[in-house]
Amino acid sequence: MFPAASLLTTLLLALSIAASPVEIRNSPITLPIARRLNTSGGSINILQHDQSRAAALKNVGENTLNRRTGSIAVTNDAVGYIAAVGVGSPATTYNLIVDTGSSNTWVGAGTAYVKTSTSVDTGEPVEVTYGSGSFSGTEYTDTVTLGSGLTITAQSIGVAATSTGFTGVDGIIGIGPLDLTEGTLTDEPDTTIPTVTDNLYSQGIISEIVVGISFEPTTTETDTNGELTFGGTDATKYTGDIAYTPLTTTYPASYYWGINESITYGTTTILSETAGIVDTGTTLILIATNAFSEYQSATGATLDRETGLLRITTTQYDALEDLNFNIGSNTYALTANAQIWPRALNTYLGGSANYIYLVVNSIGTPSGEGLDFINGYTFLERFYSVFDTTNSQVGFATTAYTDATTN
């Protein structure tokens, strides 16, 4: 049991951050997440970033040597999902990408690291190479502040001396599995680094190593449309019950938040049950090349040269059937509106305001390779998700936005 004062402090923190009260289950801590389109270099190429990320994710799992030399999944810097995190005492606030596909937390890409009385230089070199970016520098331990004053002590923080591929953000808060940190301390290739979630648990702040994530569809360039909950779930963000499925044992999806699923378009199976991952750092829904061909044929979509996305006509949109993700004994259906990119944001892709683009695309390899799909942000904005390390499972629930017409 937690002391009453500690529980009250956590409750007040959650209420002060969230728009509405949260379900108190194992003292959850909530942080808002803001979606941000990175348009500093003009229009964004989401497909290119997502496919680069997918290739890096598969490469890490398939090549142990790369993993031990610090090569992990690319962060998609075309679309970032940002949490404000304090580091140090007094705290400096850093805007960090929330990433379930990597596990190191680091700062310094934008705002420089500010040393305070709580900063401890471990002297350990740290390096992570992402698919289209990287950082290298020194490991520190420091106080990390989530929200209004709740702190984690002695959290490992990478302080970037150099970084590439990150614009408009300060770094990453990694909430992937612990093993993804192995090899990122370059002088200690067999060492793992406790994640923020691990330390919340070990320091008695939460009683389960669980992260709940809520996203909501948005049609604006920047929008605080998400919530990250440590240690529990927020019952105001989903409807019905959360259904859980065990983590996959299939390699290389098993390195990440990997699950087994099949996909049907209407009643037609386009991807037989196989392993893939759930990932906040991927924007689109990526599926094996053979499934993508089936989906394109079934929808009648054409490939748009400007964006790389599938494009459909208004008539084809009206005829779209549900895209069903069959996970365990449950089916999660993306409606026609959930399968398209927000039309109000078409020009940010370099596309036409008058076109309709689909958010399903190719992962770049055929099925049967152990990581055959990625359920990215465009899936997660329609379903509440729970990443449960304690019980080795991922959970999903419907939300008020599952069937909404927003795009």
Between 393 and 43, where is the model more confident?
393
Instruction: Report percent pLDDT > 70 for the chain.
Output: 83
pLDDT for res 4: 39
With H, G, I as helix, E, B as strand and everything else as coil, classify residue 134: strand
Closest CA to 195 of 56, 85, 345, 355: 85
pLDDT for res 73: 28
Average pLDDT over residues 274-301: 96
pLDDT for res 71: 25
Identity of residue 387: F
Residue 279 annotated among the catalytic residues of the structure: yes
Which uninterrupted H or E stretch holds 140?
Answer: strand 133-146
Separation of alpha carbons 86 and 357, rounded Å: 38
Q: Among 53-62, 115-124, 182-191, 345-354, which stretch is predicted with the lowest mean pLDDT?
A: 53-62
Question: Residue 36 forms beta bridges with which residues?
Answer: 80, 222
Residue 99 annotated among the catalytic residues of the structure: yes
pLDDT for res 46: 85
pLDDT for res 157: 97
pLDDT score of 33 more than 80 = no
Between 123 and 23, where is the model more confident?
123
Catalytic residue among 77, 170, 234, 279: 279
Rg (CA), the chain: 20
Report the predicted TM-score, pTM, of the whole model to 2 decimal places.
0.87
Q: Where are the alpha helices (DSSP H) in 118-233?
A: 196-202
Average pLDDT over residues 71-96: 72
pLDDT score of 5 more than 60 = no
Catalytic residue among 50, 99, 170, 304: 99
Domains along the chain? 4-45+71-213 (2.40.70.10), 241-398 (2.40.70.10)
Confidence of residue 25 (pLDDT cuts 50, 70, 90): very low
Question: Residue 244 forms beta bridges with which residues?
Answer: 395
* Under 8 Å between Cβ of 285 and 378: yes
Of 48-52, 135-139, 224-228, highest mean pLDDT = 135-139
The DSSP annotation for 370-405 comes to: S--EEE-HHHHTTEEEEEETTTTEEEEEE-TTTT--
Give the β-pairing of 360-362 and 285-287. Answer: parallel
Average pLDDT over residues 15-33: 47
Mean pLDDT of the chain: 85
Confidence of residue 93 (pLDDT cuts 50, 70, 90): very high
